[in-house]
Amino acid sequence: MARGALYLQSSGAASPSIAAGQASGSNSNSHCDKDRDPQAADQGGTEAEELLYLAHQGCVAQIESLLSQGLVSVNYPDYERRTALHIAACEGHLDVVRLLISKGADVNASDNWNSTRKSSLQVQISLPVSEYEVNPAELQYLDKTFTKRGYQVAAWRGIQVFVKCFKDLSYGEKAILAFRWELSLIQTLRHPNIVQFLGAVTQSTPLMIIFEYLPQGDLYQYLNQNRALKPSKVIDFSLNIARGLNFMHEHKPEAIVHRDLKPKNILRDNSGHLKVADLGLSKMLKFAAQVVSEDGPPPLKGSSCRYMAPEVFKHNAIGKEVDVFAFGLIVQEMVEGVAPMEEMDNEKVPSAYADKKRPPFKASLRRYPGDLKELIKQCWDDDPKSRPTFAHIIDRLESIKAKQRSCIWRITSLWTH
C-alpha cells in the first residue's frame, strides 16, 4: 500500500492500516526515523505521496529535507484536493504547519469539502462555545490606545469591547493551548470582580477572546499616576481583588489559581472597581488543598517576577498560596506607592524572595489601618501553608473597613456637637 493511503481521512476516520497499527500499540513517531530516506515510498509511492504521509506523521526534519530537494510542490493535492497543510493542521502538528507555511504553502487552498487549512486547524483548537461564537466581521476596531499588550478596542453590537487577539501561528503550540485554556476558564467565571467574557472567535483565524470594555486602564497605570493611595482606597481596592480571587479559589468542582497576579492584570471599570483579568497562566486544582508541579522553568518574566512566590522560583509544587503571596505585595505597593523591591532588576527579585527578603515598610503606621501591616506579612510568609486564605483575608479587610467607618463617624459626631 502506498504511503499516501495511510493518513487520516477528512471525515476523521482512520484507514484500516492506521487503526490496526494503533490497536497493536504502534508508535507513529517511529516513522520519523532520521536515518530513513525521505524519498523511499512503499511499493512505488511518489515523492508527493511521501510528503502527504510525512505531514500526517509530523516528521518535520524529513519534510524539510524532501522539500529542499525541489522534487515536489508544497501545495501538491491528493485525489480529494487535500494538501500537506490540510493534513498537518488536522493532526495538530503545529511545527509542520509552520514549516509548510514558511515554504509557501497556500493557507486558503480548499479541499473537496471546501475546508481550508484554517478550518482544519480548528479540529485541534475547537471548543464547545457555539453560543458564544462571534463573527469577526462584526468587530469594528477603533483607534484607541490601551496600555495592556495584546488588547484592542472594538465596536461590537452597539457596545465597545476589548479584543484579545492571537494573531500569528508563530506563537506556537503553547500559545494555542493558552488560548484554549483561558477560553475554557473565563466562560465559567461570572463575578463582579472578574473581567466579563462576552464571546470568542474560534472558527477562523486570528483567534480572539472578547471581554467587556474597561476604559479606565489597569491598576499599574493607576498607581503610576497616583503613587501612594489613601488607606480607604487601599482597603476598597484590596477587597475588590480579594473577592475576585476568592471566587476563583472556591470555584467548583475545581479551584482556579491565577499564577500571574500583578497590577497589569487588574483592570478598572467606570465606577472605579477593580477586576481580575488575564487567566492564560491559570491552573485548576481538583481539591482545595491540592498543589501542582510546574513543568520546566517558571513561565513568568518581566514585571511578573516582582510578584513571584518563592516556591515558583524554586520549582516547588504550587497551590492557591502563590496568589496570596502576590496579593500581599500588591497591597503593600498601594500603600507605599512604589513597586516591590523597586531598587532591583525584575529578574533578580525572585531570588531575593527565595532568600526571605521582602519589600521594606517605609510609610507611617497610620497609613496601615488596623492590622493591615500584619496581614501583608502573613500573605507573603515564606511558608505557603502559613498564608491566609482569601476568605480569611476578606474577613480581615472588612473588619478594618468597619473600624475606619466607625472612626470617621466618631470624628464627624465631635465636629457636629
130-212 has the same fold as 3-123:
no
The grid coordinates listed for 130 are: 457555539
Cβ-based neighbours of 122, under 8 Å, separated by 6 or more: 202, 203
The reply to whether CATH 3.20.20.105 applies to domain 3-123 is: no
The reply to whether CATH 3.30.200.20 applies to domain 130-212 is: yes
* pLDDT, tens digit only, all 417 positions of the chain: 444 444 443 333 333 333 333 333 334 444 575 444 444 444 335 888 889 889 888 899 999 889 988 888 988 888 777 788 878 877 667 778 878 888 888 877 665 555 544 444 444 444 454 688 999 999 999 976 555 566 889 999 999 999 988 765 444 556 666 777 788 888 889 999 999 999 998 877 788 899 999 989 999 999 999 999 999 999 999 999 999 999 999 998 889 999 999 999 999 999 999 999 988 777 766 444 555 455 444 556 788 999 999 999 988 888 999 999 999 999 999 999 999 999 999 999 999 999 999 999 999 999 999 999 999 999 999 999 999 999 999 999 999 999 988 776 555 555 555
The grid coordinates listed for 26 are: 504502534
Catalytic residues, by residue number, are 260
* Among 73, 74, 278, 101, residue whose Cα is nearest residue 172: 101
CA distances from 14 to 19, 95, 303 (A): 6, 22, 47
What residues form DSSP beta bridges with 266?
276
What's the chain look like in SS3? CCHHHCCCCCCCCCCHHHHHHHHCCCCHHHHHCCCCCCCCCHHHCCHHHHHHHHHHHCCHHHHHHHHHCCCCCCCCCCCCCCCHHHHHHHHCCHHHHHHHHHCCCCCCCCCCCCCCHHHHHHHHHCCCCHHHECCHHHCEECCCCCCCCCEEEEEECCEEEEEEEECCHHHCHHHHHHHHHHHHHHCCCCCCCECCEEEEECCCCCEEEEEECCCCCEHHHHHHHHCCCCHHHHHHHHHHHHHHHHHHHCCCCCEEECCCCCHHHEEECCCCCEEECCCCCCEEECCCCCCECCCCCCCCCHHHHHHCCHHHHCCCCECCHHHHHHHHHHHHHHHHCCCCCCCCCHHHHHHHHHCCCCCCCCCCHHHCCCCHHHHHHHHCCCCHHHCCCHHHHHHHHHHHHHHHHHHHHHHHHHHHC
| The CATH fold of domain 219-413 | Transferase(Phosphotransferase); domain 1 (1.10.510)
Q: What are the domain boundaries of the chain?
A: 3-123, 130-212, 219-413
Please give the model's pTM, rounded to 2 decimal places. 0.68
